[in-house]
């Protein structure tokens, strides 16, 4: 499944998980993320691009501001796939 593979690859990076935690429940500007996470703005932009592509964050554009918020529904999809792995029993055991 390509979608879940991309989703798990996006979640594999420490900075992306930090961005998701910071943006959970609140709209956060990309510049604020760079300062708070001590990352270069270009680095944050690249991580946000990956997170948007996989549907893990949503974008709100307000004049010159770009704000991001974590999409919990997409995280729940990833969690569901991982739970399925845990609950699946193989006959080769």
- Per-residue confidence (pLDDT) for residue 91, from 0 to 100: 46
Residue 78 tokens read as 């990833």
Contact 5, 72 (CB under 8 A): no
Which residue range forms the structural domain that includes residue 28?
2-85
Q: What is the pLDDT of residue 52?
A: 97
SS3 88: coil
Q: Is residue 63 situated within a structural domain?
A: yes
Q: Rounded CA gap, 17 and 19, in Å?
A: 5
For the CA atoms of 83, 10, 31, 33, the dihedral, rounded to the nearest 10 degrees, stands at 40
Stretch 18-28: mean pLDDT? 96
Q: What is the tally of structural domains in the chain?
A: 1
Residue of 68, 82, 66 whose CA lies nearest to 16: 68
pTM of the model: 0.86
Residue 93 lies in a domain: no
């Amino acid at each position: 499944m390509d979608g879940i593979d991309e989703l798990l690859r996006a979640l594999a990076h420490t900075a992306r998980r930090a961005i998701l935690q910071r943006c959970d429940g609140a709209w956060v500007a990309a510049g604020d993320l760079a300062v708070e996470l001590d990352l270069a703005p270009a680095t944050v932009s690249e991580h946000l691009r990956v997170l948007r592509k996989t549907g893990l964050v949503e974008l709100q554009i307000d004049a010159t501001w770009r704000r991001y918020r974590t999409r919990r529904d997409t995280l729940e999809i990833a969690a569901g796939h991982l739970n399925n792995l845990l609950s699946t029993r193989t006959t080769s055991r």
